[in-house]
Amino acid sequence: ILNKKKKIEIDIVEVPGVIKLYKRLKKFLKDKKNIKLNFYSKIPKKKYDILHISDSLQYVEKWENFITDLTKLRPKFIILNNLTAGLIKEYNTYQNFYNEKIFYKFFNIKKVISLFNDYNLEFASPYLNLIKGKYTEYPQPNFKLKDRLGYPCTLIFKLKN
């Protein structure tokens, strides 16, 4: 249960162009004195209760180093949401995005989980992705059957005592 009187600080980490867009959110929170938004282009080295990563790990080329850096911060919880991971062989591809090709990763879920040595996996579930107005599997008809993800997942890790 969230204590509405407690001060909440949210650090948002994004590329500089997206930070510009996010800063517009601040005007919606002006009268919310207990919420503070901070914007960064890299994760600051500070203590966190919860680290929440959603829809983005698949774009990180050196993802194993990234996970290692996150776990060194020792937050109480780490949430990986809409993670492109399953019981598939790990592979890289490129996403066509407005005439650009962007690195895109599909993960083997067991390998991802193995990187969280100081954490217990508390929750794992398929993630119901809304694509073109429908909750559906990843559209991958151009991929070999063995490489198709189906549904991404949500993983929640809790720091061991």
Q: Tell me, what's the pLDDT at 25?
A: 67
Count other C-beta atoms under 10 Å from residue 36's C-beta: 13
Task: Please state, rounded to an integer, the average pLDDT across all residues of the chain.
Answer: 89
Confidence of residue 18 (pLDDT cuts 50, 70, 90): confident
d(CA 150, CA 66): 25
- Residue 1 confidence (pLDDT) above 70: no
Residue 14 scores a pLDDT above 60: yes
What is the reported pTM? 0.85
